[in-house]
């Protein structure tokens, strides 16, 4: 990784959660969930690791595991409906207030993903450094592309099923899950709804990176996977 580019990892950890209360600090093997993302940031070699949270309790936990929390998130960016562009707007505002320089690259690490492919994220960063035309680079995982939608109570294929009841996965265009990790530019300042831009590259990561915790069922699945495999499973098997 070229050190002439500053890389700041952001762990966005809002305190409110309807599906699973306090999920960002819910513990897996005695460790709060947001701590796993902080450890991922340390492994990728980020220059700075910042936790964006509206909770002093969360801030204290994040600092315990090695993140900076120089300020708390503003209320407008901490509602249940607040989109990530609002979190970015708040970050830029707070950077200006505290005299903090914008990083060249943000690495956005959502804390609901306990598994990450470190090499894939480092490759995203490398691509962003070497290709100035990229506006962002996302870690993705392969997803099921043979999906169906509802129309008036009937299943309608959301893909070309070629008039057949069954079709092999290899016959359908590949699709990908996103949201595990995004790498995008911190300069110039941008926090509109299309903050990732339109020239977005990607790196395919291990399928375990698709494990996302939204509710109690997800949490049970993720907890058992971590207990059985360990979060370094991807590093050891890639």
Per-residue model confidence as pLDDT tens digits over 4-45: 899 999 999 999 888 899 999 999 999 999 999 999 999 999
> What is the pTM assigned to this prediction?
0.94
Dist. CA 74–CA 87, nearest whole Å = 8
User: What does each C-alpha distance from 102 to 92, 153, 155 come to in angstroms?
Assistant: 8, 50, 48
Task: Please report the pLDDT score of residue 3 as a whole number.
Answer: 60
The answer to whether the CB of 107 falls within 8 A of the CB of 44 is yes
Asked if residue 128 has pLDDT above 80, the reply is yes
Per-residue pLDDT reduced to its tens digit, 61-99: 999 999 999 999 999 999 989 999 999 999 999 999 999
- Domains by residue range for the chain, with CATH: 7-146+174-236 (3.90.550.10)
């Amino acid at each position: 990784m070229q050190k002439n580019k500053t890389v700041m990892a952001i762990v966005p950890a809002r305190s409110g959660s309807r599906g699973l209360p306090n999920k960002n600090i819910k513990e897996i093997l005695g460790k709060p969930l947001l701590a796993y993302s902080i450890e991922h940031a340390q492994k990728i070699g980020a220059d700075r690791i910042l936790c964006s949270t509206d909770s002093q309790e969360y801030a204290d936990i994040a600092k315990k595991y090695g993140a900076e929390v120089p300020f708390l998130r503003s209320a407008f960016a901490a509602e249940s409906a607040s989109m990530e562009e609002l979190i970015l707007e708040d970050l830029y505002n707070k950077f200006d207030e505290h005299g903090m320089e914008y990083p060249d690259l943000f690495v956005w690490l959502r804390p609901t993903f306990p598994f990450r492919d470190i090499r894939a994220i480092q490759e995203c960063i490398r691509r962003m450094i070497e290709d100035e035309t990229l506006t962002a680079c996302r870690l993705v995982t392969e997803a099921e592309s043979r999906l169906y939608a509802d129309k008036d109570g009937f299943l309608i294929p959301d893909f070309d099923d070629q008039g057949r009841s069954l079709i092999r996965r290899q016959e359908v265009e590949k699709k990908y899950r996103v949201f595990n990790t995004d790498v995008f530019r911190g300069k110039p300042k941008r926090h509109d709804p299309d903050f990732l831009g339109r020239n977005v590259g990607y790196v395919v990561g291990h399928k375990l990176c698709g494990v996302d915790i939204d509710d109690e069922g997800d949490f049970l699945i993720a907890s058992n996977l971590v207990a059985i495999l360990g979060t370094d499973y991807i590093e050891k098997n890639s």
